[in-house]
Amino acid sequence: MRRCDLLIVGAGAAGMLCAGVAAQRGARVILLDHAERIGEKIRISGGGRCNFTNLSADRPERFVSQHPKFSRHALRAYPPARFIALLRAHGITWHEKHRGQLFCDESAERIVSMLRREADVGGVEWLTPCRLEAVRRADPVAAPRPADGAPTEAARHARFVADTAAGPIAARHLVIATGGLSIPKIGATDLGYRIARQFGHAIVEPRPGLVPLTFDAEVWRPFAELSGLSLEVDIGVPSRRDAPVFREDLLFTHRGLSGPAVLQASSFWARGDAIEIDLAPDRTLATEWTASRKDGRGSLAGLLAAQLPRRLAQTWLGHFVASHPKLRPEMRVAEVGNRDLAELAAALERWRIVPSGTEGYRKAEVTVGGVDVAGLDARTMQSQHVPGLYFIGEVVDVTGWLGGYNFQWAWASAHAAAMAATA
């Protein structure tokens, strides 16, 4: 039987960093993963350049959770600067792309290699690919004994026994870093949630996050031909009091809406909720258009085309006048009453639509929900009722905004668990 101080299940971002930190602090670490190719989510992030953190990723208000303040301790102890320093130590260069988002100058493979090297320096034992078949609390009475019948030192200290394809493993600490359900094609499973339930932890119902939204085909028919069109908007979920208004790019698709704006809003959206979009942020269209009536030479269609991409202006106006029969796109602005102009402006500035669903886990960048943090110690990520059991990374009910926040949560939660398990 293999024996270790820490058995870490999941060799993704959180699992690998946790392994490296714990091993370099003197712990015997075994890192197990079922995948042939580890760290795949790192490789595909940011178009292959890995958006590894965000300069604002130490702000807990930029994370979604049933317990919004939970993340602050781990993020404070391991802020973005700590991971940036690790990159510098390995000669990895990076750049800021957009709103604090940091990307590798070269391939995301450099991050994977760095994490492997950090683990190897500490002597981590890699079991990849290796299937975890079952895990249970250790029974010292049934553990191996020397000739005098007393439990061995290792048996007394082992809290868990894991049955794996490589044989049983006894461990004092068990760290679950299995991730969520997003992107199943690279091996995502519900293993972490099953283990959590086994040990008495509640699960906040998982759902796709940072994901495109879809609409009923009939509802979306007027806009389906706009696929590929993009523009900057303000977007929010009015029914969610905790949902910020995001200013990001919106992308029309054949089935609905995507782009950074919608991905951000999707983490706050639930079935039945409306999203609200301002197609002309920072404008007071009603005031501007009322003033424009004075010269009266332009058409209603021209008025919208001055504010929006032409294809969108045409489609939008056609959609609007369909429910306002006295209006026509070719009408001169002078012929349109102030009330109608104000109504049109309000429709553009507060476009409310109800998505029918999302593109699901296959397109989701993260999973919202997961292991309920009410059952975890915020400073250590350790279970509050099963000593030696830890949950880190995406498997936990902490989901960051788009733009490097979720990787920072992986690093910070992993560091917290590694430090606690080796204290």
382-397 average pLDDT score: 97
Confidence of residue 157 (pLDDT cuts 50, 70, 90): confident
pLDDT (average), residues 66-81:
97
Q: Which two tokens stand for residue 33?
A: 């993963």
- Judged against a pLDDT cut of 90, whether residue 142 lies above it is answered with no
- Give the distance between the most distant pair of CA atoms in the chain: 103
Average pLDDT on 156-161 reads 86
In the prediction, which pLDDT does 146 show? 46
Same fold, 2-208+362-421 and 212-359: no
Tell me the backbone φ, ψ of residue 138, rounded to 5 degrees.
-70, 150
What pLDDT does 288 receive? 81
Q: Identify the CATH number of the domain defined by range 212-359.
A: 2.40.30.10
With beta carbons less than 8 A apart as the criterion, state whether 324 and 300 touch: no
Averaged over 74-85, what is the pLDDT?
A: 98
> Does the structure show a pLDDT above 80 at 150?
no
Q: What is the DSSP letter of 150?
A: P
Q: For residue 321, which phi and psi values (nearest 5 degrees)?
A: -70, -20
Q: To 10 degrees, what angle do helices 217-224 and 310-321 make?
A: 130
User: Quick check: bond before 129 cis, omega within 30?
Assistant: yes
Q: Is the pLDDT of residue 234 over 90?
A: yes
Domain limits of the chain? Answer: 2-208+362-421, 212-359
Calculate mean pLDDT across residues 42-61: 96
Integer Cα distance of 253 and 259 in angstroms: 9
Rounded CA separation 338/141 (Å)? 84
Residues linked to residue 252 through DSSP beta bridges, in sequence order: 257
* The pLDDT of residue 319: 87
Closest CA to 376 of 214, 254, 202: 202
- The Cα–Cα gap between 352 and 355 comes to 10
Residue 404 predicted with pLDDT over 70: yes
94-101: average pLDDT: 94
**Looking at residue 298, what is its pLDDT?**
80
Query: Would you say residue 312 has pLDDT above 50?
Result: yes
Q: Which residue has the higher pLDDT, 286 or 310?
A: 310
Q: What percent of the chain has pLDDT over 70?
A: 95
Q: Provide the CATH topology of domain 2-208+362-421.
A: FAD/NAD(P)-binding domain (3.50.50)
* CA triple 408-28-123, angle to 5 deg: 75
pTM for this prediction: 0.93
